[in-house]
A = this chain, B = another copy of it.
């Protein structure tokens, strides 16, 4: 792949967000697109960061939390101290995610029940007609 780039509206369209949102992410230091003249030019890495930020948003993370997670992939941590601290951070994040999965499963189970009641109720009505 020959260093594919994207305009701001390319990415806005792809992800279903506004250009304002993308510029806002830059304002907050979440991405750092290059410039071609005055225009922003996004590369594959920028695109992935946005994708991961949006994934974080979908599960209720703040922008900063998403960035924190993304930055875990950054291998610029070298000393033992930092590595241990990173492992702790990962453990905490993992615990949160597992709780979230449980919450989701609980809610899904609830929806199943409600749906059954709905269908039972509709079934009765059909039988009546």
Contact = CB atoms under 8 A, between A and B. Distances in A.
A107 B114 contact: no
Contacts of A58: 60, 99-100, 103
A98 B121 CA distance: 26
A55 interface: yes
Using C-beta atoms within 8 Å of the partner chain, give the interface range for chain A: 35 or more
A115 B85 CA distance: 11
A45 interface: no
Contacts of A101: 101, 104-105
Interface of A: 55-61, 69, 72-73, 75, 80, 83-84, 86-87, 90, 93-94, 97-101, 103-108, 110-111, 114-115, 117-119, 121-122, 125
25 contacts: A55-B103, A56-B107, A58-B99, A58-B100, A58-B103, A59-B100, A59-B107, A60-B60, A69-B107, A69-B110, A72-B110, A73-B110, A73-B114, A80-B122, A87-B118, A87-B119, A90-B111, A90-B115, A90-B118, A97-B108, A98-B108, A100-B100, A100-B104, A101-B104, A104-B104
Given A59-B100, A69-B107, 9 more contacts: A58-B99, A58-B103, A69-B111, A72-B111, A80-B122, A84-B122, A98-B108, A101-B101, A104-B104
